[in-house]
Amino acid sequence: MHFSLSKSANTVTNFVGTVFLLSLLGGFLSDSYLGSFWTMLIFGFVELSGFILLSVQAHVGELRPAKCNVSIGVVCEEAEGYKAWIFYGALYLVALGSGCMKPNIISHGADQFDVKQSKKLSTFFNCAYFSFCSGELVALTLLVWVQTHSGMDLGFGVSAAAMAVGLICLISGSIVYRNSPPRGSIFTPIAQVFVAAISKRKQICPSNSEMLHVTNATSGTNTMISNNVTLIHTEKFKFLDKACIKIQNNGMTRESPWRLCSVSQVEQVKVLLSVVPIFACTILFNTILAQLQTFSVQQGTYMNTHLTRDFQIPPASLQAIPYMMLIFVVPLYETAFVPLARRFTQRDSGISSLQRVGTGLFIATFSMVAAAIVEHKRRNSDKMLSIFWIAPQFLIFGVSEMFTAVGLIEFFYKQSIQGMQSFLTAMTYCSYSFGFYLSSLLVSFVNKVTTSTSTSTSTSGGGGGWLSDNDLNKDRLDLFYWLLSALSLVNFFNYLFWSKWYSCNPSLSHSPSPITEPRQLVLDDLEKQTSITIINYNTNR
């Protein structure tokens, strides 16, 4: 399209951010109206149409700008008018399809397991991540090679063919899938709780939770969980309990569901509020990922890319390094680490999903430490360093992502309410989007602050900020990496606080173990009764 470097970078950033944000739309449509299978099928064809359109545009000369050669002084004409519209239309068809499919792939696969099969479910999440790593590796190596040597039209064509094969595989198993039916708008019962709690804000909650409203106000009330499961009352966010206070009217009229909610309905909202801090702590983690896909790649352009005399490594291909490693590490984690950890923790998954996320957040800090050390060495080296010097920062982050990404998906799915699995799974991808957007804000903020500081103190190097120049030899990328490592460490301690604060509702325990077996007994009892009173329930986390 002959876009400028800055415009191309913004296009990529906007595309990636849109893909991950649209995962929320896919999760909402799946849980509320379509179900995961039909959501994947519909938006799979949307993504396929986008790839086909990109392939056609890249192949037909009339639909793209004329070829040019910058090296001989020819000015490249940027795509405008209908050519740009076709490009952006196709690009965002891919974004819409991919974004809406992402959370449903995970939730649909997990739905095929019984709730009590926690060991198999944990294995599924690891296998799914292994598949994603394999796909990323193929895209960053084989597909890039095809596009470089055979043209973008063939590259997009291969992507379209792969998408078509995936849809055929999806359809072929349709008769054996276990499909969770949609339950109507997932936001209506949430809104009802807040409206009811606000309208009764002056009421005083009874000291005995048994006096709160247990069953739905009306038989047709929309709830996010099936009617045969009741959530146990918890003490967090007690202001929401006011939505369960019954107003005495001598039984003459039944209160509206917007005025009176059940305990289960309120607890559903408490679960959603409880996972928000955990979600927020992973945003900075994905900001670090954004640096590896931007500045670290740019680092590589200032280093020796020759593997042999005649073979060079494209700096962008460095992003394939962690996926090459993870293809071997993920099976090792599943077959060696999990059984060993299971002997000590008595958990089917080895360690809890929150422990897994925290481990990844801690390791990510060292990725930025390694990046800062290498950048400092590169700036002060008398000769050009090999590009493999920046491989450790990719490898370290790859290990951290194996812990955090899979742990977060597993956490959201296992703590989700039946009927909201896809939407909560989509929050994992939403974290990626927020991380990339935070990266843009952080870079702008750091540039503004360091530019002002440099100007006021009249330091050497002029009034430029740490990242204000296009030349890394003049910028201070090493200091920016040190800043990110410090922020990452602070974020880790912040996560420790919130993970200790978090406690799941006992009725949502999906992982039977010595710690959770009493909770599972409660859940089994709840499934047999329409209501139950729980007295002196204690549990250790």
Predicted structure pTM score: 0.75
Which is more confidently placed, 15 or 222? 15
Mean pLDDT, residues 349-361 taken together: 89
Delimit the CATH 1.20.1250.20 region(s) of the chain.
5-181+282-501
Contacts of 493 (CB under 8 A, 6+ apart): none
Confidence check: pLDDT of 44 > 90:
yes
182 pLDDT band, cuts 50/70/90, is confident
User: What 3-state class would DSSP assign to 246?
Assistant: coil
* Residue that wins the pLDDT comparison between 136 and 39: 39
In this prediction, residues 28-51 reach a mean pLDDT of 90
pLDDT (0 to 100) of residue 7: 62
Q: Which CATH superfamily is domain 5-181+282-501 in?
A: MFS general substrate transporter like domains (1.20.1250.20)
- Nearest Cα residue to 303 out of 394, 378, 393, 380: 378
Say which residue the tokens 């897994």 belong to. 356
Task: Tell me the pLDDT of the chain averaged across its residues.
Answer: 78
Can you tell me the distance from the alpha carbon of 497 to that of 407, in angstroms, rounded to the nearest whole number? Answer: 17
Percent of residues, the chain, with pLDDT higher than 70 = 79
Q: φ, ψ for residue 495 (rounded to 5)?
A: -65, -40
- pLDDT at residue 140 tops 70: yes
pLDDT tens by residue, 293-343: 878 887 888 888 887 777 777 777 778 888 888 888 888 888 888 888 888
Supply the pLDDT for residue 167: 93
Whether 505 shows a pLDDT value over 60: the answer reads yes
pLDDT confidence of residue 537: 32
The span from the first CA to the last CA of the chain, in angstroms, equals 56
CA 201 vs. chain centroid, Å, equals 35
Q: Are 116 and 107 in contact (CB under 8 A)?
A: no
Mean pLDDT of 245-252: 68
Which of 37-51, 58-72, 149-163, 212-226 is modeled with the greatest confidence? 37-51
d(CA 166, CA 110): 18
For 50-96, the DSSP string reads HHHHHHHHHH-GGGSPPP--GGGTPPPPPP-HHHHHHHHHHHHHHHH
Flag the least confident range among 230-239, 242-251, 272-281, 498-507.
Answer: 242-251
Strands (E), 171-257: none
Residues facing 11 on adjacent strands = none
Is the pLDDT higher at 290 or at 117?
290
Predicted local confidence at residue 459, as pLDDT? 46
Contact 185, 224 (CB under 8 A): no
